[in-house]
Amino acid sequence: MVAVKYLARKKPSGLYMYQRRIPDDLRKHYPGKTHYKVSLKTYSEAEAAKLCIEEAKRVEGLWDSLRSPEARAVGRTTPENTAAAKELLKLLGLEAGEAYCPAGPLTPEAGIAIDVFIDHVDRRTKGAFSEARDLEHQGQHWVDSGSMMTAVEQEASRLLLSDPSQKHILLSDVLTSYLKHKGGGDKFDIANKRYVRLLTDAYGDLLLGAYTRQNVNDLRDKMLASGSKTATVKRYFKSLSAIFTHGIDEFDLKDAKNPFLRFKIPKDGQDAKARPTFTNGELKRIQAECKTLDDTPRHIAAIQSDTGARIGEIIGLRN
């Protein structure tokens, strides 16, 4: 069997696992770890190879997300860190948004919440965190207090200070909901996952309201430059627009906007090529070939030659 990159076998159990080194620029999201490892939960090499390739795509998509400027701007981290940060706040008796103050001085409640969180970090750093904060307030920035927090603590801090009215709904969350409500089978699901993957590979799996019209325009230009036809771009964008509209309505995201609404494609349709029709002689040869074997492909071709129906319409008659 051909060797699959990042596929390893755990000893002594024999279970296969996905294992790879964590890039240096992403280590902060995986405190104390140098390698990312996950069990594939199978003893079969063939099955493990398929699962390993799928996991590689998922991890690479996540890491691309974490590297994007849009993700860094909103403090995006791994789902595991976000879940752990929520648990940390719960253990400290705090809630997301409890220290949120949009303007003006801190409220007494927000000040208490911040003090509780600082005390937690101080216990782990033996007071070094507060000392660094004091130096920063004095204008001595040679010590970065933020770097003293773990990835989980940084995410907990972000959640603590976040606007509680802003819902934390990612594009991946919306896609899951969309497929649950609108899913039309495997083909539909695979196609829409592919459309969303194109967007997340470029800009990351962000909060739904974080995507901009400029992202859409840049993605359109990138697709056209890579050789995609305007009809292909239109198909992708119409599906993405439907996903965004579903997310805004389903999760009641009043402040989020659909950046794909009324998108424009330069020279729309002008790159389409007219397909010549079959001559009567060609149709007769096709029909004659359809009689040589009794199988589904020839049945479909025969119906097409008589009716002009599309393949999808003919296959739909079987349901």
93 and 152 together in one domain: yes
47 and 99 together in one domain: no
157 and 194 together in one domain: no
* pLDDT grade for 74, boundaries at 50, 70 and 90: low
138 and 95 together in one domain: yes
Q: How would you class 159 by CB atoms within 10 Å of its CB: exposed for 0-12, middle for 13-18, buried for 19 or more?
A: buried
The verdict on whether omega for the bond into residue 12 sits within 30 degrees of 0, i.e. cis, is yes
64 and 49 together in one domain: yes
* pLDDT grade for 94, boundaries at 50, 70 and 90: very high
101 and 150 together in one domain: yes
Q: What is the pLDDT of residue 240?
A: 96
| Inside any domain, residue 273 | no
143 and 184 together in one domain: no
- Between 236 and 58, name the one with better pLDDT: 236
Q: Number of structural domains, the chain?
A: 4
Q: What is the mean pLDDT of residues 157-176?
A: 86
Q: Is the pLDDT of residue 275 over 80?
A: no
Two tokens, residue 2: 């051909």
What range does the domain containing 204 cover?
Answer: 171-250
- Between 80 and 161, name the one with better pLDDT: 161
| Inside any domain, residue 262 | no
